Amino acid sequence: MNPAHTIVLLWAWGSLQAFEIVEKENIFLRTPCPSFLTFDNAAYLADMSFELPCHCKPEEVSAVVWYYQESISSSHTKVLTDFDGRLLTEASQVRAGSDLLVRFSIRMFSLLVFRAQPEDSGLYFCGTRKGDYFYAYDVDIQSSKGMVATFKDLGQEPFVDEYRGKLHVFTTFWEWTPCDRCGVRGEQWRIGLCYLQSPDLSPRYHKTLEDVVSCGSQAAPKDLQAKARDHTPELQIQSCMVPCKNKSMTLNSVMSIVNYVSKVGKRPWVPQVPIQYHQQKPGHRLIISCPGARPEHAVAWDKDRKRFYRTRYLQGVNRSMRVFIDYGNHLHIRFTQLDDRGIYYCWRQGERVAGFRLGVTSQGRYKVSLSDPEVRSALELTLIGYLLITAVFVIFHLCRCCCYLFRFCPNFSP
């Protein structure tokens, strides 16, 4: 290659790299901070996790500080940071009843709130440790208490819009979730949150549509919020059917070998997903959560070969239900019985990800059943071990007999 061409290419490559670095360093220059602080409206359902990006800041500010204020007229402000903008929290360590100061994390200038609760509604400010604000949010966390579900397959329709003079109250639905199961009939749903439209909203709050904010937004006066209080969030459900994703060639080859071995000789039962074991006493309440699932995820539950469809097992469908699924995708057993023994499988986003082996004790003892795969596997292993020991014992004595006959057998030759 011509050296001149090499120099030109290196210069061009260096220019491109420098251009990329400039773009990354000046990302906040494309969004100038407003001269008058306004609030972006954002609405979520209780127990959801969300992220609030700090869309603008001065170039000289290297770390932002997040503040929380219950209302614009409140004199009490919480500081949600370690003043260096590096506070990290893992979502798996957060519990629903934890305080707000425990359920948040700051990563790359953004505020992350885990398992938000209705009392977390309020104003969130992005600023400096001196109290200078750059960006702000008006967050509305709507409670799932009283949430209404409609089943599209049964011809049920969502709430109709409400008109009260200039006030218009309606439901805004999110996108449909993926199908919660694959290869069999599944379900998908979408969450609907309460919104209102009125010309009497505060101009200090940003609105995606003209004069439209969530029902709990502080842009709406207290009297408008009270009128829209009866319009609860909604959940719309419909059936779906999608094929499972094709397995890789390597996995198919392994499964072919396993199937061939299983045909030649009986192999012990091996679970296809991780199994967690739990033992429960009769009459006690039990709540099972799907690992890694959030309220907005498509989650499904099966017991052995029985499927729990929300059309029948969703919370509120029947008040006398002993086993039901709540709006946060948790499986509830109000009081356990001996019939609840078995393996409960959890589907997440159309893939079966985990299983829970539930054992129910009776009078301090566990009732053994041959229908239990673990019991059958244990019996098979015990039988195989017994046969191996018997075979070794027989072979050993045959060898001793052979040695005895070889050494001491009389000679019958004439």
Question: In the predicted model, what is the mean pLDDT of residues 359-386?
Answer: 69
Please tell me which residue, 253 or 46, carries the higher pLDDT value: 46
For 128, the token pair is 């400096």
pLDDT tens figures, 53-111:
988 877 777 778 888 998 888 778 888 866 554 444 444 444 444 455 567 777 778 88
Q: How many other C-beta atoms lie within 10 A of the C-beta of residue 97?
A: 9
pLDDT one-digit tens code per residue, 291-307: 888 888 999 999 998 99
For tokens 């000679």, what's the residue? 411
Reported as a pLDDT band with limits 50, 70 and 90, residue 22 is: very low
User: 360: pLDDT confidence band, cut at 50, 70 and 90?
Assistant: confident
Q: What is the pLDDT of residue 171?
A: 95
pLDDT band at 408 (very low <50, low <70, confident <90, very high): low
Mean pLDDT of 2-11: 40
- Confidence label for 351 from pLDDT (cuts 50, 70 and 90): very high
Q: Which of 9-13, 73-77, 301-305, 401-405 has the highest mean pLDDT?
A: 301-305
pLDDT at residue 342, as a whole number: 92
The answer, yes or no, to whether residue 258 has pLDDT greater than 90, is no
Positions of E strands within 233-318: 234-241, 275-280, 286-288, 299-303, 306-308
For residue 51, pLDDT beyond 80: yes
Cβ atoms of residues 143 and 173 within 8 Å: no
Structural tokens at position 198: 């009125």
pLDDT mean over 370-399: 79
The share of the chain scoring above pLDDT 70, in percent, equals 74
Query: First vs last Cα of the chain: how many Å apart?
Result: 99
Residue 347 in 3-state DSSP? strand
Decide if 28-142 and 271-373 have a common fold.
Answer: yes
C-alpha atoms less than 13 angstroms from C-alpha of 97 in its C-beta half-sphere:
0
pLDDT tens per residue, range 143-159: 988 888 999 999 999 98
- pLDDT recorded at residue 121: 93
Q: What is the pTM of this model?
A: 0.68
Question: Bigger pLDDT: 6 or 361?
Answer: 361
- The pLDDT, as a whole number, for residue 58 is 75
Q: What percent of the chain has pLDDT over 90?
A: 35
Q: What is the mean pLDDT of the chain?
A: 78
The pLDDT, as a whole number, for residue 127 is 86
Token digits of residue 14? 């260096």
**Fold observed for domain 28-142:** Immunoglobulin-like (2.60.40)
**Which residues, other chains included, contact 413 with Cβ-Cβ below 8 Å and sequence gap of 6+?**
none
Q: Which CATH class is domain 271-373?
A: mainly beta
Taking the domains of the chain in order of start, what are their residue ranges? 28-142, 148-241, 271-373
Name the more confident of 317 and 93.
317
158, burial (CB in 10 Å: exposed 0-12, middle 13-18, buried 19+) = middle
Q: How far apart are CA 194 and CA 175, in angstroms?
A: 15
Which amino acid, one-letter code, is at 46?
Answer: A
d(CA 314, CA 324): 6
Give pLDDT tens digits for 179-237: 999 999 999 999 999 999 999 998 888 777 888 999 999 999 999 999 998 899 999 99
